[in-house]
């Protein structure tokens, strides 16, 4: 069991693993140019999501059967939203000017953190940015959505909390 520190089983992804997300029986494993889906129950490979060569997968988040994926290369910095069951691309979201370093999914919002010093909040269906960008003084390496709060971690060593109600910074 996991509680005693033993390994339940090992998933052989077959390539370097850059990010992981899971929900229910699905584990999504991000690689350089794709995301491989595995069954958490058996470890068996169940599918693959891929797109343009050269885009690196940097972050994954999964909720309600949707997978949010940060992908980037020199001139493309995109957030991709997939329906996990159908493996279909739901949206490709542009808006960052530098590498996307992390993504998060909440009940009512998706979020992407970038080396461009911003966090963009996306509508749950992945079609639009919700309220512009949450500006930071430096690269934003991590983002988390919990209820009506977005937490961000920045290169300046500070964690900031933002309200999804007012879209204002609550605390630094």
Q: What is the pLDDT of residues 74-102, one digit of tens each?
A: 777 888 899 999 999 888 888 888 889 99
What percent of the chain has pLDDT above 90? Answer: 47
Q: Is the pLDDT of residue 73 over 70?
A: yes
Residue 113 tokens read as 């953190």
Total residue length of the chain: 172
Please report the pLDDT score of residue 105 as a whole number: 92
Q: What is the pTM of this model?
A: 0.86
Q: What is the pLDDT of residues 12-22, one digit of tens each?
A: 888 889 899 99
The half-sphere exposure of 25 on its side-chain side, counting CA atoms within 13 A, is: 8
Q: Which of 33, 153, 38, 56 is nearest to 104 (CA)?
A: 153
Cα gap 143→162, rounded to integer Å: 11
33 near 80, Cβ under 8 Å? no
Q: Is the pLDDT of residue 132 over 70?
A: no
Please report the pLDDT score of residue 145 as a whole number: 94
């Amino acid at each position: 069991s996991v509680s005693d520190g033993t390994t339940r089983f090992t998933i052989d992804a077959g390539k370097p693993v850059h990010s992981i997300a899971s929900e229910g029986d699905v584990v999504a494993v991000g690689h350089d140019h794709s995301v491989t889906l595995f069954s958490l129950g058996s470890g068996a490979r169940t599918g693959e999501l891929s797109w343009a060569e050269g885009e690196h997968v940097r972050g994954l988040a999964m909720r309600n059967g949707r997978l949010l994926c940060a992908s980037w290369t020199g001139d493309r910095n995109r957030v991709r939203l997939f329906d996990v069951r159908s493996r279909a691309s739901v949206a490709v979201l542009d808006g960052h000017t530098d590498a996307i370093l992390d993504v998060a999914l909440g009940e009512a919002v998706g979020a992407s953190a970038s080396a461009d010093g911003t966090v963009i909040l996306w509508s749950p269906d992945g079609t639009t940015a919700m309220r512009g960008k949450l500006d930071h003084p430096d690269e934003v390496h991590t983002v988390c959505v919990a209820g009506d709060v977005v937490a961000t971690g920045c290169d300046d060593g500070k964690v900031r909390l933002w309200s999804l109600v007012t879209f204002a910074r609550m605390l630094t």
